[in-house]
Chain A
Amino acid sequence: MKPRDRLRSVGRRLTDPAEEMAQQVAERVIEFLVDALDINALAARVDMNAVLGHIDADDLLKKVDLNSVIDRVDVNALLRRVDLNPLLKKVDLNSVVDRVDVNTLADRVDLNPLLERVDVNAVLDRLDLNAVLERADADEVIRRVDIGAVLDRVDVNDLVKRVDVDALVEETDLGAVIARSSGGMASEALDAARSQAVGLDQFIDRWVQRLLRRRRPGPPAPARMLAARAEP
């Protein structure tokens, strides 16, 4: 071994424990210092404004990766911890609504998928229609109805076909009106004479058909009459 190497070996044996000791001493000193230090008092003496004035906030924000910060935030947990009620109490909803353009909002909303998801029967089951009707001003509703437009959409012919005129005449005073206004004895005699004649016509015709042994009777009426009757 060379004399220089030997010296180095001796030096190393001396410096390593010394360094270790110095480290321990330094740690102890810092520990004592921190214990002795009144952080609050120190902070009180620090002029934070001056400190903040030295900080370049823009530069700081540029260095911060906000996305990664946001990724780490558990928004649901955050929202769970937020008490929205006091927040909402402070909000003036009327002024918010006043600023909303409802027409634009409505234009953007596609009501069809919304309505498809609505169970109308369930809604109607929960609806107390009697209560609704009690609150409705029927006269006002009727005033707003365009009766002309409604009638335009009504098929009056179809409506009349559905009316049981016989029952109407029999069960209402309409019968008496017709009876008084339709000629009395003369029309009654005429109706009776015609009815009897038609009855005899049919009676004789049936017998003639039997005598002639016709299996298929002739047409009951001229072609145009049958066609007119067949038309709706």
Chain B
Amino acid sequence: MSPRSRPAGLVSQQGHYAGSVSRFLAYLIDLAVSSAVFALGLAAVSLGIQVVTGHSVTWSRSNIVVAFAYPAWEFLYFGYSWAASGKTFGMAVLGVRVVRADGADLESRRGYLRALVFPLSFLFFGLGFLGILVQREHRALHDLIAGSAVIYAWDARAARLRYLAREAESSAGGGT
């Protein structure tokens, strides 16, 4: 595949079911971002407690507050993102979006439901995610339960134009 033909092929992929790599990378970004925000939140709470009480507080994974707050935060992060816009920060970076199984915009309740059943896909060594690879519509277990699907939603046409523009500019610069 030549560098020139690749963006042209991507334009035709718009709206298609997103594949495993895009979704996995998006999840990794979301995991990093949400965890970082959660850590920042805990640090802010620690600072507040320290300022108010004068005692320093340290958090660990075994801490009961963290054990309850982290899953709740993750649910809120993913649930609100999917309910509000159909995509999290990581999905926006990778240019994928959650839609209803028929392609319509995802309703809020389905967004929260998807976030609620999302952990089920991790059970049995992530067996629920196998659907992204083998299911005809690349739908994981939580997609099947929530009636959702993930598609490529980035503006590949604009990306192609940017690519062509860069090519044109670089060739013009090389010619002078």
Contacts and interface: CB of A to CB of B under 8 A. Distances in A.
A207 to B, nearest CB: 10
Contacts of A220: 16-17
Instruction: Choose among A169, A171, A195, A208 the residue with the greatest number of B CB atoms under 10 Å from its CB.
Output: A195
Contacts of B18: 201
Interface residues on B, range: 35 or more
Interface string B138-176: 100000000001011010101111111111110010000
Contacts of B93: 190, 193
A225 B19 contact: no
A102 to B, nearest CB: 59
A26 interface: no
B165 A169 contact: yes
Contacts of A177: 165
Contacts of B94: 193-194, 197
Contacts of A171: 168
A56 B162 CA distance: 107
Contacts of A221: 15-17, 103, 151
A202 B9 CA distance: 11
Nearest to A194: B95
Given A170-B168, A175-B168, A222 B99 contact: yes
Given A175-B165, A219-B137, A194 B154 contact: yes
Contact-residue bracket for chain A: 35 or more
A226 B104 CA distance: 12
Given A204-B19, A220-B16, A222-B99, A197 B162 contact: no
A205 B132 CA distance: 10
A204 B99 contact: no
Contact of A169 (B8, B104, B161): B161
Contacts, number: 129
A72 B164 CA distance: 91
B52 interface: no
A195 B22 contact: no
A187 interface: yes
> Of residues A197, A221, A224, which shows the largest number of chain B Cβ atoms within 10 Å of its Cβ?
A197
A219 B160 CA distance: 24
Interface string B14-39: 01111111100100000000000000
B132 to A, nearest CB: 10
A222 B101 contact: yes
A179 interface: yes
A200 interface: yes
Nearest to B17: A221
B136 A219 contact: yes
Contacts of B163: 191
Which of B1, B18, B95, B167 has most chain A Cβ within 10 Å?
Answer: B95
A100 to B, nearest CB: 64
Interface in A174-231: 174-179, 182, 187-188, 190-191, 193-195, 197-202, 204-205, 208, 212, 217-226, 228-229
A188 B149 contact: no
Given A170-B167, A175-B166, 5 more contacts: A166-B164, A174-B165, A195-B7, A222-B101, A225-B16
20 contacts: A166-B160, A171-B168, A178-B162, A188-B166, A193-B94, A197-B22, A197-B94, A198-B19, A198-B152, A199-B1, A201-B22, A220-B16, A220-B17, A222-B100, A222-B102, A222-B149, A223-B102, A224-B103, A225-B16, A226-B15
Interface of B: 1, 6-8, 10, 13, 15-22, 25, 93-95, 99-104, 133-138, 149, 151-152, 154, 156, 158-169, 172
